Structure formats: structure tokens, C-alpha cells
Structure 1
Amino acid sequence: MSTPPDAGTARRRVFVVGAINVDLVVAAERLPGPGETVVGARVERYGGGKGANAAVAAARAGAEVHLVGAVGADANGTEALSELVAEGISVSGVTVLEQEATGVALIVVDPAGENQIAVGAGANAALSAEHVTLALESELRRTDYVLVSTEIPEAAVAAAVETAALAGVRCVLNPAPPVPGIVRLLGLGPILTPNSGECIDLAQTLLGDDSPDYETAAKAIMARTGASVVVTLGGDGALVVTPDGNINRVPPRRTVARDTTGAGDTFNGVLINRLAAGDPLEDAVQYANAAGALSVAHVGARAGMPRVTEIEAELKT
């Protein structure tokens, strides 16, 4: 496995396009069923959103990160941007929308770290393709990687992937959640990073029939895109399927899960950082897998996002 850059090495420049939210988290004894109310002792507020979370993870892992997204002209938006700037992230690509509220996620977490999430998209739903294109196109010549997630409108997702492809910049697309518009982007060859359920959903969308399991689905998707597929499996590690036909299982890391919110975002943020640094995909996935395991040991999507030294220490255990 390659060695991460030290403090004297120039940071890799990455762009992240995705949602910015405020997370309101209730820790409860169990997750509610349909029509059921559960009561937790308190509500905690954290920074959230798949785009913003992944940007924080990439920055803590050593990348120079530029975020493209949208917030409302409200206190939540102001606080969200301040938190991101404090992490060293450039937010010049984030538009502040006067008529929109900043996105909010309502999250319930049980003692095993499993969660239920409902999101009020707010400004994220108003992020335009035009803004994404303008934010990216003048900057991509000096960019190593672009990460795009799908908690934003399909047109904005498409603008990000297409602009990166036109500039010849590699792209990672996290289809969480899968949306129909992804299908037409697959010919551009982004690396896809679905979880197991999303992987099967995508294969059904692509092929029009049921794939029996996530490995079969990943191979079907790779055959369509011509690019690698990385399936995140939570406590079971990850699966990497590459165009040369190689299938590699990355084993899980030992961890005590307190909150799985944001684990996938951590994985993706660290993944693009390591890919931008020149790691082979399987090495990058091992780093990302270790980072995701570290992140779930804390409550709050960003609370446990590790830095390079912590990931390195984890990989040595």
C-alpha cells in the first residue's frame, strides 16, 4: 500500500458537489415503526449533508477541498458555512438562496448505531445545473478529482458529471439515493460507489431485470459503464469490481458502532483524496474503509471523521 503524503507534500485539489444540511439527531432506545413515536432524552445539532460531510472527510484526510452546493439565507446556512470554513474548505462555490431554507435532516439513532433519516431538502433542491457548471468549469483544469452525490436535483448531478468529463477530470459518483437520471451518465465512466441496496437498484434500472445479489449487480453495472464499481457494505467491508474483471473484497475493520450516519460520506471523501493522491483504487478503498470504521464510533456524521494519522494507526492494527 502506498504511503500518504506528509505535511510537506502539496495537497491534492478536489471538488465535491452535493447537499449541505443541518442534522438534528435524537438517540433513542429503538427506531420507531410506522405510526409510532419513540422518545429520546435530547436533540443534538450537527453539520450534515452528503456533499458537506464528504468535503469535511476529504479535508481532514489532507485534500484541498472546494465545495459546490446551496444553503438558505438563514442562521442555519450561516452556521453551516462557518463550520465548513473552519475545516479549511473553500465555500466560494456555495450559493446562498434568499427564498430558500437551508436543508435539514431529522435523524433517529438506536443503541446499535442504526439510523432512520428524513430530509427536508430546502436549498439543496434548488441548486441549479447552471450554478454547478459555472462553479466547476473555470476551475477544473487545476483539479485532481470530482465527487458528486445525489441529494441534489438530477440536472445538477448531470451538470457536475458532464462538466468533469468534458474537462477530462476523473469523477466519483455516489448514487445515494439512486435516481433515474444517473443512467444516462454512466456512459461517461464515473467510478460508482453505491451501497449494496443501491447497487441492486441501479442494476435493475440499467438492465430492466432483477440482479440476485450486489456482486452480480456490480459486475453488470461495470459492464455498462466500463469503469470500476465500489460497493460499500457497512460492517462487511467493501467490494471492488474493476474493468479488467478483477473482484476484490476489502474486509471489515473492527469497530463499535454508535452512529452510522455519515459513514458512507466519510468513505467517499477519503476515497477521492487518496485517488487524487495517486493511490491504486484498491489501496484507496482500504484507506476509505478504515476511515468509515473510525467514523461510526462517534455520534454525529462528522464527529468521528479521522485525519491521516488516525487512519494510518487504524490500518496498522
Structure 2
Amino acid sequence: MNRPRIAVVGSLNMDLVVSTERMPRVGETISGKTIHYIPGGKGANQAVGCARLGAEVHMIGAVGDDMFGSVLMTNMKDNGVCTDGIGIIEHTPTGIASILHTSEDNCIVIIPGANGAMTPARVEQSARFIAQADLVLIQLEIPLESVYAALRIARSAGVRTVLNPAPARDLSADLLQLADCITPNETEFASLGGFMETDGQDAWQDGLSNWEKRHDHKVILTRGKHGASYRNNGQPVTIPAPVVAAVDSTGAGDCLNAAFGFGLASGWSIEQSLKFAVKAASLSVTKFGAQAGMPTIEEIERMDI
């Protein structure tokens, strides 16, 4: 089988993960259990996820000229990701994500660092990786003008794109119309104006229909333990998530995007790609760490559900 070629345009962070029994209340100080320094960033997570599945992956992003940047570059190479598109920004710190983690949930504060210096010009320097790809994966942890540049290059080259609109930000209609597919979770979709969460638990169904008519692209709505939903021949379809013993939900969305992108880049249908992706994401939460939890294709195929 030919390896699908995927270009990932996005962030690289060092995740500082503090594990604790529960989330602190506002103004409260509590004791944590452990701290881990884990390579992360939504872009890097998705790049590793695609590579673990067997894709040829080019990461397009930036790190600082510091210790964390060196560690992240080495980690990308160790996971089989091509680093030719990763710039090293002088006198700039590598991005970090400070993650407070419990057994049931997590909350995250991101400091962009070098990710904020990922300019459209730097994206243009790696245009060849985008143009030669079967699929481009993009997120929102780099400047929006750089997201726009990557989408524009892909559209000009006829390369299919998947935009993961996370973390939630206001996006222009011009930018959205360059994406072939977007993959928000329910909170992100509501933030984009896809539906009103106050309208009831099924409001997203009409939201998908109205959104796709307005923006002329496919929406994959990721719904955590409920799986993922999309429209097929005008009807809402939900791919349910298998029940697993969750250890760490960090990176589950990135795993779903990576596996979904892998499927599309391999020529699979949306249905086949999404079933594969939901299964992969469910498997990923059974391990600690976003990138460490990214499964191989063999692990997904062996999953007994």
C-alpha cells in the first residue's frame, strides 16, 4: 500500500502536565501529585498521530532556540516526522502548554512562543510540502493569517484540507470557505455560530445543515464520549464511541483528527475514515500523554469492539 502523504501546519509545544486529584477552585491552592514534561502542541500531536498510522508526514511549524525546541525536534524525528518544514526562531522561547490533569478531565493554558512567530512567509517557504501532499491538516494555535496562507496554498494546488478549529477563535467566511472539511467539537461549533447550545441537545443537527449550506464544506462534529456526527445524504449520522477505561483524555481530539485525515488521505470515504478515527481516539485515552497515546494501525485493528 502506498503511504499517504500528509502535511501538518500548526503548533509545537512542550506540555507541562500537572496531575492532581481534582481541579482547584478559584483562589484555592492544592497539592498536586506529579509533573511531566511531554512533547505536545496540536500540530505536533496530529503529525505524530498520522506518522504512527504509517503516513509520510511533513510538519510545518516553529520552535524556539532553547532546550525545549531541541527536545521537540528530536521527538519529531524519533516518531518518523519530517522536520524540514520546522523553523528554529532565534531569541524566541518554544511554545508551552500548562495542563492541569485529573483522572476525568483537563484544563489547559497555552503560551504561543515560537508558534506566534509562524508567519505566512514561513508557511510559503514550505509550500512545496503542502502542494505535494494528499491532505493538509491545520489547527488554530498559530496566527490566523498563517492558517489562511496554508489553506490558500492547498486550494491553489488542489490539495484537500481538514481544518481543526481549535482552540476556538473567530474565523472569517473567507478563511472558512477555503477549508474542505472542519472538525469542531460541540463547544467550538457553538462558538463559531454553528448552533445555540441553549436550544436543546439536538440543536447541532439543524446547525450542521445550515452551516454546510452557508460555507460549502463538510462538518465533522466531534462529541467526546458520544463519538462524532456528520451529515450523509442530508441526514445526521452519529458514529458512536466504544466504551473504554479512560486514563487521559489529553490529545483525544488530535488523535481523531490524525486518524480521520489519514483515512481521507488514503482515499477512504468519510464514513470509513470517521469510524476509524472514533475508534483510534477511544483507544488513545487508555494511555497517558497525548503523543504517547497515539495508536498504530495494528493496535486499532486489534481493538475488540
Paired residue for 2:94, among 102, 105, 125?
Answer: 102
Map of 1:247 onto structure 2: 236
Specify the SS of the correspondent of 1:106. strand
Hey, what does 2:276 align to over in structure 1?
287
Deviation at 1:188, TM superposition (A): 2.3
- List 4+ stretches of structure 1 deviating above 4 A: none
Q: 1:215 aligns with which of 199, 205, 219?
A: 205
- Letter in structure 1 aligned against 2:193: A
**C-alpha displacement of 1:140:** 3.6
Deviates more, 1:229-238 or 1:175-184: 175-184
Contact 2:20–2:34, Cα closer than 8 Å, also in 1: no
Cα distance in 1 for residues equivalent to 2:291 and 2:222: 18
Shift of the alpha carbon at 1:298?
1.6
Counterpart-to-counterpart distance in 2, 1:164 and 1:83: 27
2: CA distance between counterparts of 1:248 and 1:189? Answer: 21
In the other structure, the counterpart of 1:226 is 216
* Alignment correspondent of 1:81: 73
**1-side partners of 2:123 and 2:29: how far apart?**
39
Residues of 1 paired with 2:31 and 2:38: CA distance?
19
**Structure 2 counterparts to residues 97-246 of structure 1, below 5 A:** 97-112=89-104, 114-136=105-127, 138-203=128-193, 212=199, 213-242=203-232, 244-246=233-235
| TM-score relative to the length of structure 2 | 0.95
Alignment partner, residue 5 of structure 1: none
Query: How many equivalent residue pairs?
Result: 302
Q: How far apart are 1:144 and its partner, in Å?
A: 0.2
Select 1:267's aligned residue among 246, 250, 256. 256
Q: Please say if 1:13 is aligned against 2:5.
A: yes
Question: Counterparts of 2:146 and 2:131 in 1: how far apart (Å)?
Answer: 20
Structure 2 CA distance for aligned equivalents of residues 210 and 190 of structure 1: 25
Unaligned segments of structure 2, at least 5 residues = none
Name the residue aligned to 2:82. 90
Distance in 2 between residues matched to 1:61 and 1:220, nearest whole Å? 34
The question of whether the paired residues in 1 share the 8 Å contact of 2:62 and 2:89 is answered with yes
Structure 1's 217 and 177: CA in aligned 2 closer, same or farther, altered over 3 A? Answer: farther
State the one-letter code of the partner of 1:84.
Answer: M
Gaps of 5+ in 1: 1-8
Q: Is the 1:73–1:98 Cα contact (8 Å) retained in structure 2?
A: yes
Name the structure 2 match of 1:277: 266
Q: Equivalents in 2 of 1:154, 1:73: separation in Å? A: 23
Distance apart, 1:110 and its partner CA: 1.1
Q: Deviations over 1:9-35 (max 9, x none)?
A: 221101000110001111111012222
With the length of structure 1 as denominator, give the TM-score of the two structures. Answer: 0.91
1:311 corresponds to: 300
8 Å CA contact retained: 1:16, 1:66: yes
Give the Cα separation in 2 of the matches to 1:193 and 1:165.
18
Q: Deviations over 1:89-120 (max 9, x none)?
A: 001101100021001111111122x0011111
Contact 1:174/1:193 (8 A) holds in 2: yes
| Contact 1:186 1:224 (8 Å CA) reproduced | no
Q: Measure the CA separation in 2 of the matches of 1:225 and 1:181.
A: 12
Q: Identity percentage over the alignment?
A: 38
